Structure 1
């Protein structure tokens, strides 16, 4: 059974030869947390004393302002970052989707990139070859799939990347925000595949600023602030505390109808406030 456990974990980044405060601000904006100045070498405290326990079936949203530590936490949960202090344990194969373009080569065709990107996400070549036709149909890219990726517009690249990502069968899916840059009709089509992807995954952690995406994909949430877990509970409770108002109250009838089948209404989920 898949699981993620983190015990009192912190992640620090030393800034060597920092010439000015502007450099420290630049790095701080990338990873979140606070700057420690007790030592001669400035330290970015990107995550501080994180303790969470996630199990199979959890669908967890990460909320917080830019620089709060959401992306750094995802990289800790994926094993990309090791805790500077504390410890973590991951049971299951992780599919980290932090940048839709990672693992794609601009000099090779869309068809070839489908295989390469799938391998990057932990699938076998045979598995991806079986999915090529489905991905091609979903992307609606037609003959462009035989052309080099460098000839694609940004929206076309996102279509291809989403097609690959939503075709995999992950045990642990770690999904960062950045889904967009496509037309509204295609985004709605992608939403349906994302919901199906989440249903197939054993465990989901999803960082996003979109309340609607969080409501569709998650049933619990973690509020990150200055590299710390400020609150962990049901999605509605955490979003209400974070936003200062209940975001569910002003949903359109169409959105409410969508959420009637979504994981957010399958149960409260979540954990303890912290």
Structure 2
């Protein structure tokens, strides 16, 4: 069973080299989407999420909407356990998989095969699981013998294929996805979309941060709008 709950969650982080009387501070506020709560010297404390509460259960497919920097990525990372709240509690039941920053944990000096193992372990997979899925990952990437070479020799498209294949190789209970459908060439986008749709149907809870309203309405049945660290649940008709 999948379950995810935020209990009055607040997330803050420091932004360095920012002065209160400078234009840079205004840019920090705009780009992070959070609230600058306090300042000391060259450090500003940004509240990215403030007192957020909600409950997700099996069957919930949630869209996170809002302007760039509204806090969508922070929300996903807090759901995943990457960010720790300074207040409140996050309760999770079930295995979590993320498609956030593709390539998190990838080492360009290692081969493609070695990175499959590295990224798989960072995602919580056992060596047995990784070995069992390597052939499927290899087939999806269509990289062939390039998987034996260091990733630093790959083109950006080749790296994307490998990163996406590993990130979507698990069978989670909770799937957290940042906007990724515009990556790669047209052929790969079609394969990636088909793979994602199959994965979405298999999970208990799906959370998707996106600016694509057509995809949001196609995949989601609940909608959260983020603005300056505050979250409001809205209806489908409120999606612009």
The normalised TM-score by structure 2 is 0.88
> 1:194 — aligned with what?
196
Asked if structure 1 preserves the Cα contact closer than 8 Å seen for 2:112 and 2:150, the reply is yes
Give runs of aligned pairs for residues 237-252 of structure 1, distance below 5 A: 237=236, 240-243=237-240
> 2:117 — aligned with what?
115
> 2:10 — aligned with what?
10
Q: CA deviation at 1:170?
A: 1.2
Asked if structure 2 preserves the Cα contact closer than 8 Å seen for 1:33 and 1:45, the reply is yes
Change (3 A) 1:121 1:29: farther
Q: CA deviation at 1:147?
A: 1.3
Change (3 A) 1:215 1:241: closer
| 174-183 or 150-159, which deviates more | 174-183
Q: Distance in 2 between matches of 1:103 and 1:31?
A: 23
1:166-221 Cα distance to aligned partner (Å, 9 max, x none)? 22111222112244331112101111110111122221111112234324432222
> 2:34 — aligned with what?
33
Change (3 A) 1:137 1:29: farther
Asked if structure 2 preserves the Cα contact closer than 8 Å seen for 1:63 and 1:222, the reply is yes
Q: Secondary structure at the match of 1:105?
A: coil
> 1:140 — aligned with what?
142
**RMSD (Å), alpha carbons:** 2.3
The normalised TM-score by structure 1 is 0.78
Q: 1:126 aligns with which of 118, 125, 128?
A: 128
Which aligned runs of 4 or more in structure 1 are off by greater than 6 angstroms?
Answer: 38-41
Q: CA deviation at 1:94?
A: 2.0
Q: Distance in 1 between matches of 2:17 and 2:101?
A: 29
Q: Distance in 2 between matches of 1:192 and 1:127?
A: 22
Change (3 A) 1:172 1:39: same
| 107-116 or 76-85, which deviates more | 76-85
Q: Distance in 1 between matches of 2:69 and 2:104?
A: 21
Q: Which has the higher contact order (CA 8 A, sep 6+)?
A: 2
Q: Which runs of no fewer than 5 residues in structure 2 stay unpaired?
A: none
| 112-121 or 5-14, which deviates more | 5-14
Change (3 A) 1:192 1:216: farther
| 190-199 or 110-119, which deviates more | 110-119
Q: Distance in 2 between matches of 1:14 and 1:164?
A: 32
Asked if structure 2 preserves the Cα contact closer than 8 Å seen for 1:99 and 1:178, the reply is no
Q: Distance in 2 between matches of 1:158 and 1:29?
A: 29
Q: Distance in 1 between matches of 2:45 and 2:220?
A: 33
Q: 2:99 aligns with which of 94, 97, 100?
A: 97
Q: Distance in 1 between matches of 2:203 and 2:226?
A: 23
Q: Which runs of no fewer than 5 residues in structure 1 stay unpaired?
A: 244-274
Q: Secondary structure at the match of 1:9?
A: strand
> 1:158 — aligned with what?
160
